Structures are given as C-alpha cells and as structure tokens.
C-alpha cells in the first residue's frame, strides 16, 4: 500500500492516528500519527468531520460583547452543540441569515445594533421568526423584560445567571 492509498484511507476515516504501520527502516510497528507526511491528511479529516457535525448537531448562536461571557458559554455548549459567536448586533444578523442557527442566546447591550433591535428583526423576518431567542442580559428590570417579551423573546434571563438553568432552557427549546 502506497503513501497516497494511506492518505485516502485517512480522509475517509478508515485509518486513525493510533493505527500502526510497519516501518521497514526500523523493523517495527509505528503509529501512523507519528509520520509528519500524514499530519496534513489528519488535519483535513478533522475539518471534514467538523463540517459534517455542524449539520448533525443543533447550532447555537451566542451574541454578547463581553468576551469572557462568550468564552464561558462557548465552553459550556461546544461539546453538545455547534457554536457560533458574534460580539455585535450587525455581525449577529449576518450570521443568522447565513447560518440559520437552531437557537440564539442574545445580550441586550451590544455595539452597532442593540439586542432588542436584533430580536425585532429576527421575529419580523419570515425566514427567522421561528428561531427561539433567549435574552441573556444585565438589563433585568421588569420594564426591559416586558420589552423583550413584547418583541417576542422566547425566554428572558437576567445576569448573573445560573449555568444549569440556562442549559435546561436551551435543551427545552431544542427538543
């Protein structure tokens, strides 16, 4: 079996990095992952699998201008869901129209376009109106909550928030 045959097997997922191959120079079995010439094929396979999982897993769009909140939420959901992030309202709308996430977790206070305006545009568009939107925000007053609900937010969770509660809310909407 030649070099190109092994690369093909890697790309189709028939060979893993832990699989052994006979190395004539040393007369021993060596893990395929130890060969630098196959690392590119394994990286390509990783990208292919990642793209395939994007269509199998439910997708969450996280929108917050606070990088630490985005990081926390991404770490929380990345194992179970495909995760995309945006740090401002305009980028969020672009991702929503391009990717059509299964659920959106949206902050209110965002640069370029407020979370309320993003929510309004999502719910007014026939292509996106059925995407569940969870408002996760420091704007927890009754007045802001009523505004979010009147704009058709599916959930309104004030910060600071309980992580396990947020997970349950997301699971509920993705069933």
- Answer left, alpha or beta for residue 153, where phi above 0 means left and psi between -120 and 50 means alpha: beta
Q: d(Cα 130, Cα 173) in Å, to the nearest integer?
A: 11
Model pLDDT, residue 147: 84
pLDDT tens over the chain, length 175 residues:
555 655 555 555 556 666 666 666 666 776 766 666 667 676 777 777 666 655 677 999 999 999 999 999 999 999 899 999 999 999 999 999 998 999 999 999 999 999 999 999 999 999 999 999 999 988 767 888 888 888 999 999 998 999 999 999 999 999 8
Q: Are 157 and 166 in contact (CB under 8 A)?
A: yes
Count of CB atoms situated within 10 Å of the CB of 2: 7
**Contact residues for 112 (Cβ-Cβ < 8 A; gap 6+):** 88, 89, 90, 91
Chain centroid to CA 164 = 18
Domains of the chain: 3-54 (no CATH), 57-174 (3.40.50.2300)
Residue with tokens 């927890």: 140
Tell me, what DSSP letter sits at residue 34? G
């Amino acid at each position: 079996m030649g070099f190109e045959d092994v690369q093909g097997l890697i790309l189709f997922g028939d060979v893993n990095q832990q699989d052994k191959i006979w190395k004539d120079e040393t007369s021993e079995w060596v893990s395929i992952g130890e060969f630098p010439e196959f690392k590119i094929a394994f990286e390509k396979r990783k990208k292919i699998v990642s793209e395939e999982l994007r269509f199998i897993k439910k997708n969450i769009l996280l929108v917050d201008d606070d990088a630490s909140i985005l990081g926390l939420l991404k770490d929380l959901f990345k194992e179970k869901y495909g995760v995309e992030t945006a740090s401002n309202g305009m980028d969020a709308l672009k991702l929503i129209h391009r990717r059509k996430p299964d659920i959106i977790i949206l902050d209110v206070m965002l640069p370029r376009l407020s979370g309320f305006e993003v929510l309004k545009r999502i719910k007014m568009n026939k292509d996106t109106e059925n995407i569940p939107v969870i408002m996760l925000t420091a704007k927890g007053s009754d007045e802001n909550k009523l505004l979010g609900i009147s704009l058709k937010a599916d959930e309104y969770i004030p910060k600071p928030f309980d992580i396990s509660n947020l997970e349950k809310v997301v699971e509920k909407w993705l069933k």
